[in-house]
Amino acid sequence: MRTYIHRDIEPTLIRAVKTFSAVALTGPRQSGKSTLLRRLFSKTHRYVTLDDPQARDLASRDPQLFLNQLRGPAIIDEIQYAPELMPYIKMRIDEHRSKKGSYILTGSQQFTMMRHLTESLAGRVALFDLLPFSWFEKRTAKSSKRLITSLGGFVHACLKGSFPETTTLPVAALQEWYASYVNTYLEKDVRGQYDIGNLRDFQRFIQLLAARTAQILNCSSFANDLGVSVTTVKRWLSVLEAGRIVYLLQPFYENFGKRIIKMPKVYFLDCGLAAYLSGIRTEEHLMKGPMAGALFETFCLQETFKMLLAKGGRPQLFYLRTNNDLEVDLLIRIKNGKWLPVEIKMSQTPKPSMASGILRFKQLFDKLPTTDGVVVTLADREFPLSASVNARPLEQYLRDLDS
């Protein structure tokens, strides 16, 4: 039997089920949503999945009968396949407002599910996301010495991925798993839910996008490369964002009279998928290839995002780039309302020059409430780079965010 790996979001979900009438958990296919919920709530909730054609047919055709057959608190998996259920769930919640945790809902299509939830269950449901394993979650379950270091965690994320299935597969089977994952995602989550046009062009778009992870998004460039309209590219992006395949890091929105680039940056939320789509198969290719820096930045972004999501909030993450070449990789709104400026450098030898972007940012945006800046590196200890900027190991940076 496979060992269960505890997820950082568990305490947050347990509190929510005791507080809200309904709880919804979204996230990409195969991120572990069903396993997590059945582990936490199997003694109190009946489980049904709408991946089952018979259950899906009954839920769509006769929602009242479907809900009556559940007889009590229930986990309804992949609820986006039967949006007809939502109004009836709302009515039952309204009839018994004092009952908490009556329904736990999951779905692998965030936007589709969110639209139906906000239309039917606004004010009645707590919303959460579950992404594939974080680096820390993998470390608690695997004894591999490679996972202890930031470098080892990065290499493992790229070459083994972070989905529950991929972390235990041999290298030979890993490529087959990702190929199957992409095909299943295209057929079930994309073709079944969206009008995206030519599926082959959409798949080519995903591959091109993987090669440009951690870069500013230029929709016109993709449109020219693929021979499609900019509108089509934007629609495809919304589909990938809905499935938590990619994350669009928005530009910093505060306007202090500076000329700020306003296009988002795009990141894959699983380095392993980005590496697979880019043809990276070995550690040597990863570390010596042209995508090493971009994938390390992607790794740091995905771990930051997972850490903040597990606490139940909506992460406030931005980047900054101005027309005079000032750039800060991450600006994070933290608990006290201040902004944490973060630079990401794939280096084990931090240098004072790495702090220059953050120092310029502090000078130009001196009216903005900020904390001391951080340069996230592969070093094994913290180094002061200036009076207000420290180079910090990735692990320490993540633990500080969690505190």
- Domain termination residue (choose one: 107, 129, 151): 129
32: left (phi over 0), alpha (psi -120 to 50) or beta: left
pLDDT at 176: 93
In terms of Cα–Cα distance, which of 252, 260, 346 is closest to 298? 346
Q: How far apart are CA 290 and CA 278, in angstroms?
A: 11
Q: How far apart are CA 290 and CA 324, in angstroms?
A: 25
Is residue 171 located within the same domain as residue 112? no
Whether 1 is in a domain gets the answer: no
Q: How far apart are CA 147 and CA 388, in angstroms?
A: 30
Q: pLDDT by residue for the chain (403 residues), tens digit each? A: 567 889 999 999 999 999 999 999 999 989 999 999 999 999 999 999 999 999 999 999 999 999 999 988 999 999 888 989 999 999 999 998 889 999 999 987 665 666 666 666 777 889 899 999 999 999 887 656 778 899 999 999 999 999 999 887 887 789 999 999 998 888 777 876 777 888 899 999 999 999 999 999 999 999 999 999 999 999 999 989 888 899 999 999 766 556 778 899 999 999 999 999 999 999 999 999 999 999 999 999 999 999 999 988 789 999 999 888 889 999 999 988 899 999 999 999 999 999 999 999 999 888 899 999 999 999 989 999 999 999 999 999 999 998 7
Whether 31 is in a domain gets the answer: yes
Is residue 355 located within the same domain as residue 296? no
Structure tokens at 397: 């940076």
Is residue 112 located within the same domain as residue 31? yes
Q: Say whether pTM exceeds 0.85.
A: yes
Structure tokens at 221: 């460039």
Residues 24 and 112: beta-carbon distance below 8 Å: no
- Domain termination residue (choose one: 71, 102, 129): 129
- Domain termination residue (choose one: 129, 154, 185): 129
Is residue 292 located within the same domain as residue 326? no
Is residue 150 located within the same domain as residue 290? yes
Whether 4 is in a domain gets the answer: no
Is residue 88 located within the same domain as residue 143? no
pLDDT at 3: 78
Residues with Cβ within 8 Å of 304's Cβ and at least 6 positions away in sequence, in order, are 315, 317, 330, 332, 398, 401
The residues facing 128 across adjacent strands are 25
Is residue 230 located within the same domain as residue 142? yes
Residues 23 and 13: beta-carbon distance below 8 Å: yes
The HSE-up count of residue 105 (CA atoms within 13 Å, CB side) is: 29
Residues 341 and 328: beta-carbon distance below 8 Å: yes
Is residue 223 located within the same domain as residue 77? no
Q: How many helices (H) and strands (E) does the chain have?
A: 17, 14
Q: In what order do the strands lie in the sheet with 125-129?
A: 46-49, 74-77, 103-107, 22-26, 125-129
Q: How far apart are CA 222 and CA 261, in angstroms?
A: 19
In terms of Cα–Cα distance, which of 159, 128, 175, 182 is closest to 299? 159
Whether 141 is in a domain gets the answer: yes
pLDDT at 188: 78
CB atoms within 10 A of CB 80: 24
Is residue 173 located within the same domain as residue 289? yes
Is residue 161 located within the same domain as residue 265? yes
pLDDT at 300: 98
Whether 335 is in a domain gets the answer: yes
pLDDT at 144: 66
Is residue 112 located within the same domain as residue 192? no
**What's the CATH code of the domain at 20?**
3.40.50.300
Whether 225 is in a domain gets the answer: yes
pLDDT at 331: 97
Is residue 285 located within the same domain as residue 237? yes
Domain hosting residue 240, numbered range: 135-309
pLDDT at 375: 98
Q: β-strand 327-333 against 339-344: which pairing, if any?
A: antiparallel
User: Which secondary-structure segment (H or E) carries 73?
Assistant: none
* b (16+ CB within 10 A) / e for 151-168: bbbbbbbbbbbbbbbbbe
Q: Where are the beta strands (DSSP E) in 85-162?
A: 103-107, 125-129
User: Which secondary-structure segment (H or E) carries 74?
Assistant: strand 74-77
Number of domains in the chain: 3
Whether 5 is in a domain gets the answer: no
pLDDT at 109: 64
